[in-house]
Structure 1
């Protein structure tokens, strides 16, 4: 069963492809500009690397305002729904993210199944139980965007009393249209081209920096390549994983960090940037006053959970790319995880122990 009436497909359209390409370009250009700027001591490039994501996020938000206005103008439909099952997927402060499996029974359409995530106040959590009946609302053209109405109108409260619903079959489940692979491909292409453009434009400065930064005995980077490629210099280090690997694999990130810091007298870093298959570490130059931290002190065991939380609980249902950045630019060690998808961009921030302190859902 598929309920998509009035919802024109957006995946794979030229606009979506262009948006994915530009987003990938920004994701690739910003960290590359920041890292290259630190290596060659180019303040303008460092500022560009920091400001580019913020500017792009603002433009992305402004460009989406007409669409959000149109969506807000659509009168949502109200219906009764039965809770098939529920599961708490977090325990943060007083609001707990809960995953619901619902049977929604519209008055003018067949019942269907849908899975949603919604934050419920800890005090109200006992009110929701399997086989319980709730009032929900959803846009007519996006029936998978169901939200439980916590305080229904008196009319619906009356219908709620004594209501009984039958479970819809699993074959009647609806969900958001799958993301086309073309969008992911152009996003990856934009990421690679963005990073490559920065490196190519400043290759002369980079090579000059490598020549003068260290004595001849250590000027040649160490490179090892089996399932991954490691390049280490006095100023930075990168590890690139091979196909089928990910830094989310157990122990992979810790091994990569050890390979970059092994044998160094000081493991102080200015920034650590992690993507799916790319790790970049910018080491603090000797005698620098820039905010720095011990690369070994990061809570690497918490990174997979932080990335998973950012990908699943911030409203980006089909994440295309993610990036984790650790630095002390604000004075204290901060870990930021950003995800990008068709719904927009979202991010969360954690402290030096990997505990989440701020969330910015997709809008």
Structure 2
């Protein structure tokens, strides 16, 4: 294992699911496993913890009344491991109070506690809209029809120091609209006079609007469909009769923040790895990565993201399930679009 961000002799083979060219998947409690990483080593933690839902899920979500303290313990463990310019990004879904159509404030209480008690700065809130979200919660949306469906998650972008926090929006520019492309080519059609002042107070100039910056600055409302159905991960789970992780977030979500907040060779960590979408993306983007996952089953089946040969994937899955340390070296994970 050639990763210099671990404390020497802190990792044993029983913790390791598998190792790739860029990263390592570890099984165990994230709070304990974070202690194996040297302080001020991590550039980005991007994760999607189990949400505080009213119904218990197979991946082990907490009840709302204990959720805030539970999640903030992980935030407390992450804090000293981040570099001074590092970021902590949490995708956290909404929920309703038990037995009533009152929207829970738990994700906001998590944010306030992380900032007021642990010391994080809120760099910027993001919101992830999933246009393929199913109508939920069932009681208030489908049955009684008194609420709109929930299709937006809050994504808190936190950092240790907002002034130092590494970020480059130029790495996540979005394609220009057809109208903007035309404005760049023919600004005279849109701006009749240099220095025109709009009602908003903005001063328009042909020279500034005709400059092609390579794309548009993205908004903090991210729209990524979470409708994965034909990925390699799901295919192999189905072929082998293995239960896939039921709450995967789309590749595009960690991809956005890894590109935005890190550089090539930086260290990216996911403390609730699930099917290891984050590690998969980090590997493709040539970042070092570490994933922590409590369930051995999910650690083992996440190997399917990194192996394109079906027979080999099943063989390595079986080895992980029998506590054998697996290495997947000199291979690039194949990108299967959803």
TM-score, L = length of structure 1? 0.22
Larger relative contact order (C-alpha < 8 A, sep ≥ 6)? 2
TM-score, L = length of structure 2? 0.23
- Structure having the higher helix fraction is 1
